[in-house]
Amino acid sequence: MPNKMQTIIAVDQNSTLSTRDRGLNYGDGFFTTAKVVDGQVQYWAHHKARLIECAQRLGFPELDFNSLENQIALHINAAQLNVLKILVTRGEGGRGYGLPSECNVSILLSVLDYPSNYEALVKEGLNLEVSPIKLAAQPLLAGLKTLNRLEQVLVKKAMQTQNCDDVLVLDYNNNVIEASAANIFAIKNKCVFTPLLDECGIKGVYLQSLCDKLPVEFKRVKVEDLTQADAVFVCNSLMGAVPVKRIEQQVFNTDDSHALLTKLLAKEAEC
């Protein structure tokens, strides 16, 4: 039987986490960040699937979702527009990097304020430049939202000197992978494509939900594939789909981008 030992901590000023926790010491864990509207977690089925996949691929015990969902419901009951963060670690134990003989998973729940600038970004679009920070390849972790996010920290640090709202992050073969904290997809000749994430990057919840609604091609993408597209979007589960109004020197009409995506979604809904 799968080991379902887990401790759920609602993060507040009185919460504590052991200094021996493997998530703190080794980044041994994973997380998901969800939008909460009127006490309901949007795209919960996809967030749950992400947590299950991360646990399986990283060799964690099976998570007890009955207990977890009950705790989530208690903490978001009064939330009207907030962010729920679910962070899972392997807990304490093990010698050095070695795994503990018995795993007691720690789950931290945080209910945070919803970013005030997201609504404006969705309406107005955002400007992108290419990040000087590139992502390393590690197929064993590709697609997963693990606690090892130092590359993204460096991306955000580099952004402080760039004149843009977000960046395109490439791998060492100069393939586009993602934005700093979101996926990228584009429309060309009424077809939707997005970067292949088999070596690095995170396959986000909003992108997963978009694949339920539209045929999306995952392929190797270069910057010029995006600058030559009819429309480009940055997306994650908090913002939804945000149109890109500029990549480097290439400018897009965000009203046209919105209209093109809306038309594609409506056409698929009729099928």
Contact 128, 179 (CB under 8 A): yes
pLDDT exceeds cutoff 50 at 144? yes
Q: Which among 32, 33, 146, 254 is annotated as catalytic?
A: 33
* Residue 245 annotated to the active site: no
DSSP letter string, 228-242: TSSEEEEEETTTEEE
pLDDT in tens, 11-58: 665 677 888 999 999 999 999 999 999 999 999 999 999 999 999 999
Residue 173 is predicted with a pLDDT of 98
Average pLDDT score over residue span 231-256: 97
Residue 14 is predicted with a pLDDT of 62
* Residue 222 annotated to the active site: no
Percent of the chain with pLDDT over 90: 85
* Residue 263 annotated to the active site: no
- Residue 242: name the closest of 168, 182, 190 by CA: 182
Residue 172 is predicted with a pLDDT of 97
Alpha-carbon span 151 to 134, nearest angstrom: 8
Average pLDDT of the chain is 93
- Residue 83: name the closest of 45, 37, 149 by CA: 37
Alpha-carbon span 125 to 89, nearest angstrom: 35
pLDDT in tens, 62-108: 999 999 999 999 999 999 999 999 999 999 987 789 998 888 899 99
Average pLDDT score over residue span 221-226: 98
pLDDT in tens, 146-172: 999 999 999 999 999 999 999 999 999
Q: Which among 35, 48, 134, 145 is annotated as catalytic?
A: 145
Look up residue 102 and give its amino acid.
Answer: E
Look up residue 234 and give its amino acid.
Answer: V
Residue 63 is predicted with a pLDDT of 95
Residue 12 is predicted with a pLDDT of 61
Alpha-carbon span 44 to 142, nearest angstrom: 21
pLDDT exceeds cutoff 90 at 253? yes
What's the distance, Cα to Cα, between the start and end of the chain in Å?
Answer: 43
pLDDT exceeds cutoff 50 at 1? no
CB atoms within 10 A of CB 214: 16
- Residue 186: name the closest of 164, 165, 170, 210 by CA: 210
Q: Which among 89, 178, 194, 245 is annotated as catalytic?
A: 178
User: Any alpha helices (H) in 144-253, and if so which ranges?
Assistant: 150-159, 205-213, 223-227
Sign of the dihedral defined by the CA atoms of residues 70, 74, 80, 85, in that order? negative
Which DSSP helix (H) or strand (E) runs through 22?
helix 22-26
Residue 2: pLDDT band with limits 50, 70, 90: very low
Instruction: Rounding to the nearest 10 degrees, give the CA dihedral for residues 195, 197, 203, 209.
Output: 50
pLDDT exceeds cutoff 80 at 202? yes
Who's near 263: CB < 8 A, 6+ residues apart?
none
